[in-house]
Amino acid sequence: MSDAASETPNLWGPIAVASWQATPCIRGRVATEADVKGGTAVFYLDLTEGQDSRPFDLALPRCAILTGGNDHEHGVPVILIQVETSINNENQVKNFAGYRPLAGGNGICLLHELELLKEPDARFT
């Protein structure tokens, strides 16, 4: 997996909760390096060794609470902008998600580390 997001840090500023639905995202296809540089995706997968990647069927952008990992004990509100299903050469399947925290920045996690929401809830204030 390649992460080129650090090349253009101005793309990853804070997100206003009132306009979360306007957050740039990628829909219906896997991300490319150009998508990451353009701010519509957080990562793109290197598929040169025969792996497979597919877009995950989920309406984006989407509000979510990041629940996985030790740094996120109480949950962090994020806007989900990318989800892809990756199948490696050993037929292992993982759903990777790219997200943007409200305060700015971006991150990658596994989809099961997110609580998906239909809209912002009280944790987004």
Mapped onto helix, strand or coil, the DSSP state of residue 71 is helix
pLDDT at 5: 46
| Res 122 pLDDT > 50 | yes
pTM of the model: 0.86
Across all residues in the chain, what is the average pLDDT?
89
Among residues 121, 112, 11, 107, the alpha carbon closest in space to that of 63 is found at 121
> Band of the pLDDT at 47, cuts 50, 70, 90?
confident
Q: Rounded to an integer, what distance in angstroms lies between the CA atom of residue 123 and that of residue 67?
A: 12
Q: Rounded to an integer, what distance in angstroms lies between the CA atom of residue 79 and that of residue 20?
A: 7
CB contact set of 118 (below 8 Å; sequence gap of 6+): 63
Q: What angle do CA 42, 46, 52 make, to 5 degrees?
A: 100
Parallel, antiparallel, or unpaired for β 76-87 and 52-55?
antiparallel
How would DSSP label each residue in 37-95? Answer: HHTS-S-B---TTS-EEEE----SSEEEEE--SGGGTT-EEEEEEEEEEEE-TT--EEE
> Band of the pLDDT at 71, cuts 50, 70, 90?
low
